[in-house]
Amino acid sequence: SPLLAVCFAASCGVPGIALLTLGVNPLTGALGAFNIFLYTCCYTPMKRMSIANTWVGAVVGAIPPVMGWTAATGSLDAGALLLGGILYSWQFPHFNALSWGLREDYSRGGYCMMSVTHPGLCRRVALRHCLALIGLSTVAPILDITTWTFPIISLPINLYISYLGFRFYRDADRRSSRKLFFCSLWHLPMLLLVMFTCKKSILEKEDKGDLLAESHGRAMEIRLP
């Protein structure tokens, strides 16, 4: 029953948020609470109202890795936003390809999905975010989160999912959508594994900061009479 579902959700959600707030940090707990609100009060009702539910759902899926970052660092900085951006973009080829083969079921269930009401937009958005993954991977070393080997090593898998995204956009059939969906299942863990392997270490960043501070100090000494 709805009452049982609400009670079960509350028995999981309330202690979960409390544990995150008291055992990790308040920022991570707040993000968890916000994500529960976003999922239950915005994303779920919007499924029967507007195709915008997919964009809201992508935000819901992007927040958990952001919470992981804030749990480890205590701050909502560029690394958190980059991880969230990667998860956000990845969800569009993943879900749009999946929903393409379920269009009839979504239609009978009364759900407003791009694949049902805007099939052309569904394929364009999937391709657009496949290409966005290449851009986000390139931004990582610019933000000093990974080395420059990350965008280079990740380029083949990003190009491959972009190729399948283009095939899905062009062919608009179940075969191309299935290929894109199954590629998305291994693409994300592979991309994050490469990102983890190529990440900048804390010691490396501290050494870089010390060098900058030392060079700044020397510059100040030269200026002083």
What is the tens place of the pLDDT at every residue in 35-78?
Answer: 999 999 999 999 999 999 999 999 999 999 999 999 999 999 99
**Dihedral sign computed on CA atoms, order 122, 124, 130, 133:** negative
Tell me the β-bridge partners of 146.
199
Q: Which tokens go with 94?
A: 């993943």
165's CB contacts (< 8 A; 6+ apart) are 93, 126, 127, 129, 130, 131, 180
Report the C-alpha gap between 97 and 196 in whole angstroms: 27
Parse the chain into domains and list their residue ranges: 60-206
153's CB contacts (< 8 A; 6+ apart) are 194, 198
What is the tens place of the pLDDT at every residue in 14-35?
Answer: 999 999 999 999 999 999 999 9
What is the tens place of the pLDDT at every residue in 188-220?
Answer: 999 999 999 999 876 565 555 555 556 555 655
What is the tens place of the pLDDT at every residue in 108-125?
Answer: 999 999 999 999 999 999
